[in-house]
Amino acid sequence: MLPRQDIPHKTVSVGIRPEIYEIINRDLSPREFHLQRAENLIELTGILKQGVPDVVYMAADLTAFDPFVLSSRLAKAGVAVLMISEVPTRDVLINAARHGAMDFLVSPLQPSVAVMKTNRALIKKGKKAPLEGLERKIDFGSAKTPYEKVKVVIKNIKELLALPFAVVKIIRLCNEPNVNIKDLELAVKSDPAIAAMIMRRSNSAIFGSAGQATSIQRAVFRIGMRETRNIAASFSVFKLFTKEEKSFGFNRVWFWLHSLTAGICAQILATILKHQQPEDAFLAGLLHDIGKMVLDDFINEEFDKAIRMANTERIPMRMAENSVFQTTHSYVGSKLVQMWGFPSVIADGIGQHHLYQKLTETNNGLSLGAIVCMANQMSKAMQVGSGGDHIAEREPSFLWKRVPKDLPWRKILGKVLGELNAYTEVLEIPPEQFRMDLIESQRGKVGIFLPGTDHFAPLLQIALEREGFEPVFLSSLESRNFEEKQMALIIGDLTSVQDGEEASNLQKGISSLHEKNIILPPADRKNTPLHLDFFWLESQLRHVLGP
């Protein structure tokens, strides 16, 4: 039962600077909210003795006590916790999500943001009736379970998320083998924004030596049919979804950065692996997680639960989604792109990128689903954006054996980031929200010990070179290997070691050879090695070597 509307919601601020408190106080209507202020734990304890508040606003950078521990305790008591920070790093945001915070406020606060996020938190806690027009509406009828709701969304998805007519026509024409270029030119010209994007792409630095394209027809000839289709699709899909956060821990800007990076990585990997259509790999990589946006927009309460489960339990999103929905974003995304009229090979690439048992080699090499799977992991290793988790699962690690050894990964990473810059500029993603450059200064050599099967070797190399380290792979723990090469750090990948005693002895050996070391991945409660969590690795590197 919802609380009586004539009783103000009890809200408390903890450790917040006076100017931020005043902004929140002005933002909240005194008829709806009663705001109290606590400077420390003693004052908060006194307030809590008078009754459990509905909402607590808490500074994320408190030093007198751990705000995340307090957030966990308050959340368990039914309080909606909103964290506040001037610079909410990925570390802070994920820790807040893992410790039960409902949302995040970034200081300085914009007008009405505090009341909007407060209302959303109260609605999710069942303490306030939903506001009219707050969410996209869909009639679920008699559907009660999350899986039944997914089926309703898929049935109505073409009407719920319709692409612009011009884009549908461009996709159809670009898929025709004998398309009339004049027809395609007319379709592109019918959408000025897409036309401008295609002209900008055709005149970008990558085609600079060919001179300036002065017409749509010449631009299409220069970049090709599939690239034209990809630009129209990426621009339209990006604009189709709002940028407003709905589920805490699922940042929309980070999502698009991860998706764009995966698309670019997929095209590069497809080229390296001699796939027939690298441009198809880009589109499948770009849209590989689009099902998450559908679930977040239309079945938000359940998707929010899956996001929190993934962050709290440190498991891949697909596992959390399976637990909540009995299906995954891959399935939803493949159905959506089918409805949009994309080629079946792209829908299959999206639908299969987590079906590891199906990612086998074909007569023509790796399938598109396999390449998208690898691109997804590569994007996570680069730590650009986030699709909801930062985990590379171990099962598909065999795919990386198909990649040629001694690839110039640093050069490849530079190319990926250069392409990403070009796309984010066109899509108007604020560059201050992410780091787009490679670290130029060399931070030293990192010895990587891989006993037995090297599950994560290429991904570790990508992650470390992204951070400015020089990876050195070692097959033994002989001390002279470390003394001669002056390692700054040792990373021991013990994922292939099944015997617990052997793993323990290897860990002791690594620790005795170098005081700075990381053993990965973290083990579960049964001491069984699991997947590689790049957020965990990033935090370990920062802890061991500093920022």
Which domains are delineated in the chain?
Answer: 9-124 (3.40.50.2300), 165-433 (1.10.3210.10), 445-545 (3.40.50.2300)
Residue 376, pLDDT > 90, answer yes
What number is the average pLDDT over the span 530-538? Answer: 84
Residue 142, pLDDT > 60, answer yes
Which pLDDT does position 258 carry in this prediction?
93
For all residues of the chain together, what is the average pLDDT?
85
User: Among 33-37, 377-381, 505-509, whose mean pLDDT is lowest?
Assistant: 505-509
Which pLDDT does position 134 carry in this prediction?
44
Which pLDDT does position 46 carry in this prediction?
93
More confident residue, 246 or 156: 156
Q: Is the overall model pTM greater than 0.75, yes or no?
A: yes
Residue 101, pLDDT > 70, answer yes
More confident residue, 325 or 170: 325
User: Among 217-226, 473-482, 500-509, whose mean pLDDT is lowest?
Assistant: 473-482
User: What's the length of the chain?
Assistant: 547
Examine residue 521 and say whether the peptide bond preceding it is cis (omega within 30 degrees of 0): yes
The β-bridge partners of 526 are none
Which pLDDT does position 53 carry in this prediction?
93
The β-bridge partners of 70 are none
Q: How confident is the model at residue 293 (pLDDT cuts 50, 70, 90)?
A: very high
Share of the chain above pLDDT 70, in %: 89
User: Please, is 478 exposed, middle or buried when counting C-beta atoms within 10 Å of its C-beta (0-12, 13-18, 19+)?
Assistant: exposed
CA-only gyration radius of the chain, Å? 25
Residue 480, pLDDT > 70, answer no
Cα distance between residue 501 and residue 492, in whole Å: 15
The β-bridge partners of 519 are 492
H, E, C per residue of 48-67:
HCCCCCCEEEEECCCCCCCH
Cα distance between residue 191 and residue 194, in whole Å: 6
- Token look-up 């189709």 returns 240
Cα distance between residue 376 and residue 387, in whole Å: 9
pLDDT by residue (tens digit) across 438-468?
777 678 899 888 886 677 889 999 999 998 8
Cα distance between residue 495 and residue 501, in whole Å: 14
CB 384 within 8 A of CB 261: yes
Q: How confident is the model at residue 485 (pLDDT cuts 50, 70, 90)?
A: low
In 3D space, the residue among 5, 1, 252, 7 whose CA is nearest the CA of residue 125 turns out to be 1
Dihedral (CA of 117, 122, 124, 130) sign: negative
What region does 546 belong to: left with phi over 0, alpha with psi -120 to 50, or beta? left
Cα distance between residue 312 and residue 95, in whole Å: 9
What number is the average pLDDT over the span 149-176? Answer: 88
